A and B are shown apart, each in its own frame.
Chain A
Amino acid sequence: MKMSGAKALVEALKREGVKVIFGIPGGATLPLHDAFRDALDEGELTYILGRHEQCVAHMADGYARASGKVGTCTATSGPGATNLVTGIANAYMDSSPIVAITGQVPKLMIGRDAFQEADIIGITTPITKYTFQPSSPSEIPSVIKAAFHIASMGRPGPVLIDLPRDVQTEEEEIDFPEKVELRGFKPPPRNPHPLQVKKAAELLMKAEQPIIIAGGGVISSGATKELLELVEALMIPVVTTLMGKGAIPENHPLCLGMIGMHGRGEANAAITKADVILAVGMRFSDRSVGRFDVFEQKAKIIHIDIDPAEIGKNVKVDVPIVADSKSALTAIKEALSSMATRKAGEESHWVKRIKELKEQFKDRYEAGEAGIKPARLVKILRKLLPRDSILTTGVGQNQMWAAINFEVYEPRTFITSGGLGTMGFGFPAALGAKVAKPDKVVVDFDGDGSFLMTEQDLATSVSQNIPVIVVVVNNSSLGMVRQWQDLMFGRRFMAIDLKRLPDFVKLAEAFGAHGVRVGSYEEFEGAVKEAMKMEVTTVIDVPVSPDEKVFPMVFPGRGLNEVTWG
């Protein structure tokens, strides 16, 4: 069939099941948007017009994390494309599958410093799984097919397609292939090596004080059921990484919550006492495990990951298992069932100890002087929100207060910028999540500094009818930087005072959203209940003291056994 490159692209996207595009148009994507218009008129596509390209990338990312599908976003050439970069890097660090489509100047203009030209392929090569620049319309269907395949297979991640303007307008005979061959793309085998599985099972059987660390891989491979089965069959306690929140219901008696620099006291205490660690779909990041050498000393480590490059990257592993988390956990459970398992219901000394630990740390999170405690806000929020609500976060103190205190019960309901730590991620990610799951309550638990970085997309939220709740924990400062200056730089504060600006209630109102300021827990509770009934986005401004800190904390360069409570 003869058609233009732009039409071929839209048709190929439809064939991949794309229903929503987050984007901002521009000169180099005019033909593409003309083709989107047809799909829009036929009701086959929703186009969410953002207000900043960084946000459209985060929206696609939030959409992908909430739905498990590939998120799609588009921007024009030059500044449009470069504005996407933070969003792409964010998706890359957190293994989130997105496809970004950028416009490019016509082929003959490339390399001549044309108006709005940027070498986006060169710029994004280190932060994408792959990039494409089709040079003729007939290449487009196979490029799209390959892009979605690469983004979602193996360890997920972003793919960028750079589309010169003339490739969008030229007409050619177009075929849509059913599949593409990529001889260099070999996602690791889904199934684990049986010998390693046997070794892992034996280690776990012999372990006196075993523990599981569940990472984001458990969620992206859909292995939460398998994880829970293994946990309950073996009575193994579980901790999670930041990305792993949601891998297991956090109110489970064997779940100790998040480990790491701001991990829960009981989680960090338990991990340092373990003799065998089963790490599933996680990458031993410095923020999760502290000093690598402390981690390696005591315990034997079994590491399951789909990405072979993660095995042995940060810590020495005793049993490496390169596989999809789901199939690896299934295989380990099967291997164990042929061995004599512990009697059901039998509570080992270790499990008793774990339960004592949970009890011991229970009341420590809201300690401190009077005033509104962010930890308490998080707990009130949890109590009010339906079980399957989605919480996104900004980056900084707000993120850690949420991560420590918000109990997540279901996968894909806690969405945060883990690897890149992108301030401003929470709000656009919430919009993307709400587009993916319109029936769920979506809350962005944010800080004033973070929210201010992407607040302009309140316009997107209001004009496109994507109602979310934004809780701004407003300490009028760049709180995490302030905390570090306080604890490590002798309170020599520098460049952290946000001067109580802007007035978030008025800001919300200026965008046509609902704004409310609360001064007590009761008012906060009322505001959240009210916001859940609203059909427009609500911004709840909660002033707190700038001296509120995130504890517990493990100082950088220390091991997880050195926890500070303030």
Chain B
Amino acid sequence: MKAIAPSKHVVLALVEDKPGVLHRVTSLIRRRGFNIDTITVGATEVKGISRITMTMMGDEKILEQVVKQLAKLIDVVKVSRLKPEAAVMRELAMVKIHTPNTSVRADVMQFVEIFRGHVVDASPESLTIELSGDPEKIDAFLDIVKRYGIKELARTGAIAMQREKTSSSGSSKISV
């Protein structure tokens, strides 16, 4: 599991909610040879505007070029970069863990509690866990439970917001 290290880049794009927009965005990034590690798309507070959150590794200079090119796309209303250290990041994961006996089950349940996860499905042989938090926390949890056997894993990819400054020096809220 890769951790989202500070060197990893987080790019936010507010885009028109239209067919083909995701293609335009990802096609542009593909051309620059960047591999998108995670990408999420969802609604925002403004009707008709979606928010794309992407995390990727890559050369700083090329990333700067990617951001400038993204800003030029007609369907991209606003694009910005987040400093991971100044951002709140959250990700949701669902993990199906192999739990063949009660002792393993008890162990897993304990870790789920420590990590403040939930059991969302159970069978005699497995437990399905829902866990949310910053991506590092999910990495840590997976690192622990992998010894029991992960049967299936689904991660949403990160969503992120810049932390609001404590002083009243301008809002990071984006108006469109």
Give chain B residues whose Cβ lies under 8 Å from the Cβ of A185.
74
* Docked complex Cα distance between A182 and B23 (Å): 19
The number of residues on chain B lying at the interface, defined by a beta carbon within 8 Å of a beta carbon of chain A, is 20
- Contacts A125-B23, A183-B77: A308 and B176 contacting too (C-beta < 8 A)? no
Interface string of B6-33 (1 = CB under 8 A from A): 0000000001100010011001100100
Within 8 A of A (CB), among B40-90: 64-65, 68-69, 71-77
* Docked complex Cα distance between A234 and B76 (Å): 41
- Contacts A309-B65, A312-B64: A184 and B24 contacting too (C-beta < 8 A)? no
* A184 adjacent to B75 (CB under 8 Å): yes
B6 to chain A, nearest CB (A): 23
Q: Is A307 an interface residue (CB 8 A)?
A: yes
- Contacts A184-B15, A184-B16, A308-B68: A126 and B74 contacting too (C-beta < 8 A)? no
Complex partner residue of B27 from A126, A307, A312, A313, CB under 8 angstroms: A126
* Docked complex Cα distance between A125 and B25 (Å): 10
* B24 adjacent to A125 (CB under 8 Å): yes
* B76 adjacent to A184 (CB under 8 Å): yes
Name the CB-closest residue of A to B24: A125
Name the CB-closest residue of A to B15: A184
* A182 adjacent to B74 (CB under 8 Å): yes
Give chain B residues whose Cβ lies under 8 Å from the Cβ of A126.
27-28, 31
A131 to chain B, nearest CB (A): 8
B91 to chain A, nearest CB (A): 27
Interface string of A274-310 (1 = CB under 8 A from B): 0000000000000000000000000000000001110
A443 to chain B, nearest CB (A): 36
* B74 adjacent to A150 (CB under 8 Å): yes
Complex partner residue of A308 from B23, B27, B71, CB under 8 angstroms: B71
Name the CB-closest residue of B to A310: B68
* B65 adjacent to A184 (CB under 8 Å): no
Give chain A residues whose Cβ lies under 8 Å from the Cβ of B16.
183-184
* B68 adjacent to A309 (CB under 8 Å): yes
B23 to chain A, nearest CB (A): 6
Within 8 A of B (CB), among A309-341: 309, 312-313
Complex partner residue of B65 from A122, A125, A150, A313, CB under 8 angstroms: A313
* Docked complex Cα distance between A342 and B108 (Å): 81
- Contacts A184-B15, A308-B68, A312-B64: A125 and B20 contacting too (C-beta < 8 A)? yes
- Contacts A122-B23, A184-B15: A309 and B74 contacting too (C-beta < 8 A)? no
Give chain B residues whose Cβ lies under 8 Å from the Cβ of A184.
15-16, 73-77
Q: Is A199 an interface residue (CB 8 A)?
A: no
Give chain A residues whose Cβ lies under 8 Å from the Cβ of B77.
183-184
Within 8 A of B (CB), among A164-186: 182-185
Give chain A residues whose Cβ lies under 8 Å from the Cβ of B76.
184
* B176 adjacent to A183 (CB under 8 Å): yes
Q: Is A130 an interface residue (CB 8 A)?
A: yes
* Docked complex Cα distance between A90 and B59 (Å): 29
* Docked complex Cα distance between A389 and B64 (Å): 42
Give chain A residues whose Cβ lies under 8 Å from the Cβ of B24.
125
Give chain B residues whose Cβ lies under 8 Å from the Cβ of A309.
65, 68-69, 71-72
Give chain A residues whose Cβ lies under 8 Å from the Cβ of B65.
309, 313
Give chain A residues whose Cβ lies under 8 Å from the Cβ of B28.
126
* Docked complex Cα distance between A121 and B20 (Å): 9
* Docked complex Cα distance between A150 and B76 (Å): 14
Give chain B residues whose Cβ lies under 8 Å from the Cβ of A183.
16, 77, 176
Give chain A residues whose Cβ lies under 8 Å from the Cβ of B73.
184
* Docked complex Cα distance between A150 and B72 (Å): 11
* B27 adjacent to A125 (CB under 8 Å): yes
* Docked complex Cα distance between A121 and B24 (Å): 10
Q: Is A145 an interface residue (CB 8 A)?
A: no
B24 to chain A, nearest CB (A): 6
Name the CB-closest residue of A to B78: A184
Within 8 A of A (CB), among B134-152: none
* B23 adjacent to A307 (CB under 8 Å): no
* Docked complex Cα distance between A199 and B64 (Å): 24
* Docked complex Cα distance between A279 and B126 (Å): 66
Give chain A residues whose Cβ lies under 8 Å from the Cβ of B64.
312
* Docked complex Cα distance between A307 and B20 (Å): 24
Name the CB-closest residue of B to A131: B20
* Docked complex Cα distance between A129 and B28 (Å): 12
A346 to chain B, nearest CB (A): 41
- Contacts A122-B23, A183-B176, A184-B16: A307 and B74 contacting too (C-beta < 8 A)? no
Name the CB-closest residue of A to B16: A184
Determine which residue in A122, A125, A309, A312 has the highest number of CB atoms from chain B within 10 A of its CB, and name it: A309
Give chain A residues whose Cβ lies under 8 Å from the Cβ of B23.
122, 125
B33 to chain A, nearest CB (A): 14
Interface string of A128-152 (1 = CB under 8 A from B): 0111000000000000000000100
Name the CB-closest residue of A to B31: A126
Give chain A residues whose Cβ lies under 8 Å from the Cβ of B15.
184
A8 to chain B, nearest CB (A): 21
A398 to chain B, nearest CB (A): 31
Give chain A residues whose Cβ lies under 8 Å from the Cβ of B68.
308-309
* Docked complex Cα distance between A224 and B108 (Å): 74
Give chain A residues whose Cβ lies under 8 Å from the Cβ of B31.
126
Name the CB-closest residue of A to B70: A309
A426 to chain B, nearest CB (A): 28
Within 8 A of B (CB), among A93-144: 121-122, 125-126, 129-131
Name the CB-closest residue of A to B18: A184
* Docked complex Cα distance between A503 and B77 (Å): 55
* Docked complex Cα distance between A122 and B76 (Å): 17
Name the CB-closest residue of B to A150: B74
Give chain B residues whose Cβ lies under 8 Å from the Cβ of A130.
74
Complex partner residue of B72 from A307, A312, A313, CB under 8 angstroms: A307
Which 9 A-B pairs have CB atoms at the shortest separation, nearest pair first?
A309-B68, A184-B77, A130-B74, A185-B74, A184-B74, A184-B75, A309-B69, A183-B77, A184-B76
Query: Can you list 29 pairs linking A and B with CB atoms under 8 Å apart?
Result: A121-B20, A122-B23, A125-B20, A125-B27, A126-B27, A126-B28, A126-B31, A129-B74, A130-B74, A131-B20, A150-B74, A182-B74, A183-B16, A183-B77, A184-B15, A184-B16, A184-B73, A184-B74, A184-B75, A184-B76, A184-B77, A185-B74, A307-B72, A308-B71, A309-B65, A309-B69, A309-B71, A309-B72, A313-B65
Q: A126-B28, A126-B31, A184-B74 known; 18 other A-B pairs, CB under 8 Å? A: A122-B23, A125-B20, A125-B24, A126-B27, A130-B74, A182-B74, A183-B77, A183-B176, A184-B76, A184-B77, A185-B74, A307-B72, A308-B68, A308-B71, A309-B69, A309-B72, A312-B64, A313-B65
